[in-house]
Amino acid sequence: MAEDAKAKKEDKFAIKQKSTGNTFVPLSKEEIAQLIKNFEIREDDLERFLKKNKEGEKLKIKVKKEEYTIYKPNEYGKIANQYFKDTADKFVKSNEKMFKPMFDAFSKVDMPMLSSSYISLAILFTILSCPLGLLFALFFKLVMVPAVPWIIVILSPIVIPLLTFIAFYSYPSSLIGERDQKIHQDLPFALVHMSAIAGSGAHPMSIFELLAKSNEYPELKKEVKKVLNYVNLFGFNLSGSVKLVARTTPSPELRDLFDGMVTTIETGGDLNDYLKQKASSALDKYRLDKRKEVETMSTYSEVYTAILIAAPLLMVVSLAIINSISGGFGSLCIPIIASIAVYGVLPLLNILFMGFLHMQTSKF
């Protein structure tokens, strides 16, 4: 009787193998004891677990919210999908080659919307722009500028929707350069951070988890969260997840970094040494870029001084001399010319120069 009770107790801790169908492979007493010791499991907890599992109670697996991210539904996208989802799908299916560049750009800019919803939204706003464009053209013609030809008013319901759809089509591509530049600015400091984490002996996954929790690198954080999503939501391993994100990142530098990390991990190399070398190289390049930026700004400041400070002063002196001699240029008197230059030309030149300066500094 004692032996039967002992055997029955061992059968409680039998494990079910998928490969053998419904058959059970019982564990020996020594194996059970070793498992309980290794995993620090109490026998009463294990019995309770088996009892609940036998009764068909579903196991709940808790996943921390910070381990993954999901996009919230876009309200405008929901309305567009409600009315134009089928139309958008048919339109994309019949023009796959035309939409392929847009979808490639869409995957690189990390827009919080599905590409199919974006096409539905583009169709919705294209249709709405037709009557709105006609009303605006009529208002412009009848109220503001009556001299505008009627042909422009007639063509507005065609031209404005076409321009609207072109704007939606090209918008994702226009964001790629901006995201690439922001990642480029964050990457040297992020590499130092990653190198420090790797140097502490942490698991490579911890590098991405800690970067995702940091708010210091907003654009890079989006790419890191993609890696975590592939691992925690879709079940990919770390190497496969990094490879997938490397294909869609808008930054060539980040793509090279991720490819190098994958190679180092898969070949058993020292990830800490690799990240140290990349951090050192990125910081050197960052210093050179900043030095180049300072030299460029120095050149632009000299240009600004010559064109928008010295030249206007000479112009004012010249106008004062001309006013004392002749009083004006043809039908224009000197005070009118000076007013146009001071209140019109100079502010416009300053605005254009600031725009040019902003475009140049964004490259560094």
pLDDT in tens, the chain (364 residues): 445 544 444 444 444 443 444 444 566 666 666 666 666 666 666 666 666 555 444 444 444 544 555 566 667 778 888 888 888 888 888 888 888 888 888 888 877 778 888 888 999 999 988 888 888 888 877 777 676 677 877 888 888 889 999 999 999 888 888 888 889 888 999 999 999 888 888 888 889 988 888 888 888 888 998 899 888 888 888 999 999 999 989 999 999 999 999 999 888 888 889 999 999 998 998 888 888 888 888 888 888 888 888 888 888 888 888 777 776 666 667 777 788 888 888 888 888 888 888 777 665 5
Domain that holds residue 151: 75-174
CA 363 to chain centre: 18
Question: Is there a domain that residue 62 lies in?
Answer: no
Question: Is there a domain that residue 64 lies in?
Answer: no
| Whether residues 84 and 6 fall in one domain | no
Question: Is there a domain that residue 65 lies in?
Answer: no
Question: Is there a domain that residue 70 lies in?
Answer: no
- The span from the CA of 110 to the CA of 103, in Å, is 11
| Whether residues 191 and 280 fall in one domain | yes
| Whether residues 125 and 90 fall in one domain | yes
Tally of domains in the chain = 4
Pairing mode, strands 15-16 and 24-25: antiparallel
Structure tokens at 260: 């190098």
Structure tokens at 172: 């994702």
Q: What is the dihedral of CA 106, 110, 111, 113, to 10 degrees?
A: 90
DSSP single-letter state for residue 275? H
- Final residue of a structural domain among 285, 315, 331: 285
Do 238 and 205 contact (CB within 8 A), yes or no?
yes
| Whether residues 168 and 187 fall in one domain | no
Name every residue whose Cβ is closer than 8 Å to that of residue 186 and which is 6 or more positions away in sequence.
Answer: 216, 217, 218, 219, 220
What is the b/e burial string over 223-260, where b = at least 16 CB atoms within 10 angstroms of the residue's CB? bbbbbbbbbbeeebebeebbbbbbeebbbebbbebbeb
| Whether residues 301 and 355 fall in one domain | yes
Tell which residue, 177, 75, 71, 151, has the closest CA to residue 120.
Answer: 75
- Final residue of a structural domain among 146, 174, 202: 174
Which three-class secondary structure state does DSSP give residue 15? strand
| Whether residues 279 and 185 fall in one domain | yes
